[in-house]
Structure formats: structure tokens, C-alpha cells
A and B are shown apart, each in its own frame.
Chain A
Amino acid sequence: MLALREVSKVFEKRLDAVERLARRLGADVQEHTVHAVDRVSFEVREGEVVGLVGESGCGKSTLGRLACGLHEPSAGQVLYRGAPLDGTRRRRIQMIFQDPFASLNPRLRVGEIVGEAPRVHGLVKAGDTAAYVAGLLQRVGLDGTLARRYPHQFSGGQRARIGIARALAVQPEFLVCDEAVAALDVSIQAQVLNLFLDLRRDLGLTYLFISHDLGVVRHLAERVVVMYLGRVVEIAPAAELFAAPNHPYTQALLAEVPTLERRRRSFMPIKGEIPSPLAPPPGCHFHPRCPHAMARCKEENPVLREIAPGRLSACHLNG
């Protein structure tokens, strides 16, 4: 349904006039280039839930924005149902953002926030908008009469539901959820996760679910894509990934997740922190932190290849 082909996104910080002058005078000022997403390829099939995990700075949010057309790729292609993204296709892919406080315009009533896009797209006539919005609010578990209120009158969980209603308003087929439940309390998070499950069943939606929370991804996703410093290091069906991770980074990530079952354990952390994406290490990006690193890992970037049917990993240990 959605295919990413060798997609890259490069952000450049060019020098401004002062910095150019400073450089001419001999100051050590440089242009910065960040490879936020580096030749990423994978597909999301119709009706599937794909989880995209990784830590801060791994490029997962940038990838989410590329997938729904908010960013243009620097190289590579994003294909939706076999063709590049254009106006109508883009409408079919909607994004749900993390921060329920920052992603809703505080000056608009909820009815306007949810009802504006479908009216502009001609999905609903102006006279029918109110009823349409009320239906959507009910769909996400809010009272339809709340449409006249402003965002500040709602709790965090309710705002998350408004964000979902706004995305559903243009009748999407595909939702990109970027840390959509990260800001919510556990009990509210459970309610919103249940809502995602219900919507998928009732509306046949496809999800790209981006999260740093492996517990959430394990619960929702059928397949998982793991990213590290802009590259995909592993792709596997969720059950297999959590049972037997292949890539050393995935292994470390899973080992670090605190769970309710592990009591008063000794934490055995992997070393170091994620290097700056401005200057990623050569070869395999993970080698400075990897317990199995070999000479080859410092020079040669391992390619992502199939290690078992439906499983891909990018590690030299696999031969």
C-alpha cells in the first residue's frame, strides 16, 4: 500500500552572512549536513500495523513525515498504491501528532478544528458539517455536543481524541501516528490504544505506528522496523522480533526495557550514548557501542538483507 524506496532525507544548515564573513576571517565555522534518513526501504501492506521504533535522533519522526508527504525526500521515492504522492493521495494519509497541546489551534473551536478540512476538500456540505463533526466526535468517544468548546477546556486524553477525530475527518485509509500516546498517563494511554484497535477493526485502517515505547509497539504492531541513526537495522514480524531479536542494537534495546516481571534486577546497560547524527561513526553506525564489533564493522556498512523468510537485519555477524 505504502512503499518507501531508498528514501533519504538530508537537512542542511547553510552559513548565513555573518558566518560566511567569520569563515573568510579564518574562523572555524562549517556547514552542517544531517542525514536524518539514510536510504530506507520498506513497505506497509493494506490493513497492516507496522511499528517504527528507535531512540531520539534515529530519524523515525522524519520518516513518518516523509511517509505522509509533509517532507519531500532528498532522494528515493515514496509510493502510495504504486504511484508518487499527489494531492488526493496525500489526503488518504493522515498524521496524528504527539503533543495534544501543541497540535490543536487554541483559538479555534473543536468543531472548526475537526470540520474545516472535510469542508475544504468538499467531503461534506457546509450545512451538514455540524452533524458530521458530532458523528466523528462520538466515533472517538467524545460527546458530540462538545464541538463548541475550545481545546484548553479538554484534558490531555480528550485532546488526543480530538487529534484523532481531525485525522479521521478527511476519510483517510492510512494513519501515521507519531508518538501518539507518549504524552498520556498509563490509564488514559490504554483507552486511546483501545480506540486505535477499534478504529482499525471498524474502518479497515492501516497504521504506521511510530513510538519509542516498545511495550506499545509490541501490543499494536504486526511487523516492526527498528531504526538507528537514520538507517533501518532490523525488520521482523513483531512476535519474532520480541522473542529473538537479531541485531545487537535491537537486543540491547529489548534488554533495557523495564518490565513488570523483572524485579529488583541488576541493570546491565549497553555502553555509551547515541552519537551525534552530525558526525555518525563510519561503517556500521552501532559499532562503537556494540559488544560484538569486529574490524569489518568499522569500515563497511552492513546491508539490510534477508536472514529468514520475512526477516531482515543489517549486521555483519550474519555473514
Chain B
Amino acid sequence: MLEVEGLVTEFATREGVLRAVNGVSFALQPGEVVGLVGESGSGKSVTGYSILGLVDPPGRVAAGSVRFRGEELVGMPEARLRALRGRHIAMVFQDPMMTLNPVLSVETQMVETVLAHEPGAGREAARRRALESLDRVGIAAPERRLAQYPHQFSGGMRQRVAIAIALLHRPGLVIADEPTTALDVTVQGQILFEMQKLVRESGTALLWITHDLAVVAGLAERILVMYAGRIVEEGSVEQVLESPRHPYTRGLLDSVPAAARPGERLRQIPGMTPSLARLGAGCAFRERCSRADAACLAMPELAGGVRCHHPLC
């Protein structure tokens, strides 16, 4: 379905060219849910944007290939890409107002989305599709809701509308960038429930980008962990969460307070994420890592699901 190979995305800045995504490769099967996990600045969101060709200057996809159903997306003409985006590949953002226009009614926005990709569909059919889609994401009274404007919706409801728009064309792939991060727990639970149901029913592949390991634990089948622009570990949910092999993944899991005994000091990772401008050669995690030695001055390869010279267990 989706094959990403050696993806490199660079940003030209005053401090030089920064590689936000540095040789990322992975694949997604139809109906598969993959969690792409990392902290701020790890390059997880830029990876999502790069797949869709949404990286704006000064950023650019400098190398690598993204194939969707066998078709190369990198370097594809913008017109063709636009036809694909929204129809076959959809994106859901953290802030639903990235998707929604505040001065148009939900009906206008949804009907236009349908007609943009299927000009011959007709307004009435497009409206029916919009109603179905709202109903599918669990919005009560879709008839009444359709006539309303985004400000009349709560945060959770807006995110549902954004998801409903993403699903209008029943896309083969949905890229979701932290869609529940800004929501309350009970609302997050509802959205996760709807997404899970949709993936199961329609066979849509889902790339779920998040910093929250606990969310992907409940949702994904596979996890990719990113650090400083590279995938440092990948594997099944069980494997990555129960027996992580990269010291960074171990450190992340130990940092989650729920996993520790109440009131005890958490086993923290020292230091902070290095600036991309000062990475240098070698493993990007070595300065925070207790297992680092001279070997770590050379960049380890991603082998057996882990990018580390001294993997755990």
C-alpha cells in the first residue's frame, strides 16, 4: 500500500541545512495500524507531511522515495498529487481548524470536498455522503449539525468533523498527526473508538503519529520509534513495549509515570534531545546513553528492528 524508502527531508536555515528526516524507511499494508512515536523535534510530523508532499520551502524532500499503490509520490506533478490527496490519502491534524474553514458551514465544506474530487457527483449525492460520513464518526443529529459553522462545535466535535471530511472518499491511507492530543480523556476515548471501528470496517491503513506511547499501545499493531530524524526501533507493539531493544525506547517507557511505583523517582533519561544543527556523526543518542562507548561514534545501521551498537537483551 505505502512504501517509504530512504526518505530525507531538509530545511535550509541560518545554521545550515538541517535534516529533520534522515533516511526513514517503512511500509504499510492495507488495514494496518502503525504508530509513529517520538518526542518534539524527532521528525515524526515532518515524515507525515513529506509523504503527502506538504513540506513547504525552506523545507524540501531531498532524497528517497514514497510509493503509494506502486506510484511514486516524490516529484509527482502538483496537480496529480492534489487529485490523490484527500481522495486516496487523507490527513488528520492535531488542530481541526487546520482542516476547517471558520467562515463556511460544515455542509459547504463537505459538499465542496466531495465535488472537488468527483465533479459529476451532484450536490444532492454529495450532501448524502456528507451526512453518512458525519454519522459514521458518531455525530448525533447530522442533519442539524451539517448546517452549523465550526465555532458551534466543541473541540472534540470539530475533530470528528475533520475526521469525517478525511473519510468522505473512503481513502486507502489515513495519516493522523496527534489528533487526540488536545482532547480530554473521555473524548479521546470516543475518537479512538471511532477510528478503530473505521479501520476495521473499511480496511484503511492508518499511520498514527504521536508522542503518547499509551495511545498507540491500545491502537496500533506495529510501532516505529523516531529519534533525531531516524527510526531507532521498530517492531510489534508487544515487542517494543515489553522488551524494547533501544536504550532510548527503554528510557521513554521508564519515563511514563503510570508504569512506576507511586512516589518513587522515575528513571529519567539525562539531558535533552540534541539540536539537529549540532548532531555530528555517530549515534544521536550517545550523549544521553549509559551504554555508549567508542563504537557509538559511528552511526549504527537499523538491523533486526533496532539502530544500536549495544542493543538491550
Q: What residues make up the interface of A, taking CB atoms closer than 8 Å to B?
A: 55-56, 155-157, 185-191, 193-194, 197-198, 212, 214-216, 218-220, 222, 238-239, 252-253, 255-270, 273-274
Who on chain A is nearest to B193 by CB? A267
Is B79 interfacial (CB 8 A cutoff)? no
Whole-angstrom CA separation of A112 from B197 in the bound complex: 54
The answer to whether A264 touches B186, judged by C-beta atoms less than 8 angstroms apart, is no
With A190-B255, A260-B213, A264-B237 already in contact, the answer to whether A252 and B221 are too (CB < 8 A) is: no
Whole-angstrom CA separation of A156 from B41 in the bound complex: 12
Whole-angstrom CA separation of A42 from B217 in the bound complex: 36
The answer to whether A187 touches B217, judged by C-beta atoms less than 8 angstroms apart, is no
The answer to whether B256 touches A215, judged by C-beta atoms less than 8 angstroms apart, is yes
- Per a CB cutoff under 8 Å, which of A188, A238, A259, A264 touches B221? A264
The answer to whether A268 touches B257, judged by C-beta atoms less than 8 angstroms apart, is no
Who on chain A is nearest to B190 by CB? A269
> How many residue pairs between the two chains, A and B, have CB atoms under 8 Å in the bound complex?
141
> What is the interface of chain B mostly: helix, strand, loop, or mixed?
helix
In the assembled complex, how far is the CB of residue A1 from the closest CB belonging to chain B, in whole angstroms?
19
Q: Interface residues of B toward A: which range?
A: 35 or more
The answer to whether B218 touches A157, judged by C-beta atoms less than 8 angstroms apart, is no
The answer to whether A187 touches B213, judged by C-beta atoms less than 8 angstroms apart, is no
With A155-B272, A260-B214, A260-B241 already in contact, the answer to whether A267 and B196 are too (CB < 8 A) is: yes
Contacts of B259 in A (CB 8 A): 260
Q: What residues make up the interface of B, taking CB atoms closer than 8 Å to A?
A: 39-40, 154-157, 184-190, 192-193, 196, 211-215, 217-221, 237-238, 241, 251-260, 262-263, 265-269, 272-273
In the assembled complex, how far is the CB of residue A181 from the closest CB belonging to chain B, in whole angstroms?
9
The answer to whether A186 touches B211, judged by C-beta atoms less than 8 angstroms apart, is yes
Contacts of B157 in A (CB 8 A): 273
Who on chain B is nearest to A216 by CB? B257
- Per a CB cutoff under 8 Å, which of B193, B237, B268 touches A187? B268
The answer to whether B39 touches A218, judged by C-beta atoms less than 8 angstroms apart, is no
The answer to whether B186 touches A253, judged by C-beta atoms less than 8 angstroms apart, is yes
- Per a CB cutoff under 8 Å, which of A216, A222, A268, A273 touches B187? A273
Contacts of A274 in B (CB 8 A): 184, 186
Whole-angstrom CA separation of A252 from B190 in the bound complex: 12
17 pairs, A vs B, C-beta closer than 8 Å: A189-B255, A214-B185, A219-B266, A253-B185, A256-B188, A258-B188, A259-B258, A260-B217, A260-B253, A264-B220, A266-B196, A267-B196, A268-B189, A269-B192, A270-B189, A273-B157, A273-B187
- Per a CB cutoff under 8 Å, which of B184, B193, B260 touches A268? B193
Contacts of A216 in B (CB 8 A): 257
With A214-B185, A219-B262, A267-B189 already in contact, the answer to whether A260 and B256 are too (CB < 8 A) is: yes
Contacts of B154 in A (CB 8 A): 273
The answer to whether B269 touches A264, judged by C-beta atoms less than 8 angstroms apart, is no
The answer to whether B186 touches A270, judged by C-beta atoms less than 8 angstroms apart, is yes
Who on chain A is nearest to B237 by CB? A263
The answer to whether A258 touches B254, judged by C-beta atoms less than 8 angstroms apart, is no
The answer to whether A190 touches B193, judged by C-beta atoms less than 8 angstroms apart, is no
The answer to whether B192 touches A258, judged by C-beta atoms less than 8 angstroms apart, is yes
The answer to whether B258 touches A190, judged by C-beta atoms less than 8 angstroms apart, is no
Whole-angstrom CA separation of A220 from B192 in the bound complex: 27
The answer to whether A267 touches B192, judged by C-beta atoms less than 8 angstroms apart, is yes
Interface pairs A-B: 9 shortest CB-CB: A190-B255, A215-B258, A219-B257, A256-B189, A267-B193, A55-B184, A269-B190, A258-B214, A269-B189
Who on chain A is nearest to B275 by CB? A155
The answer to whether A194 touches B186, judged by C-beta atoms less than 8 angstroms apart, is no
Whole-angstrom CA separation of A212 from B260 in the bound complex: 18
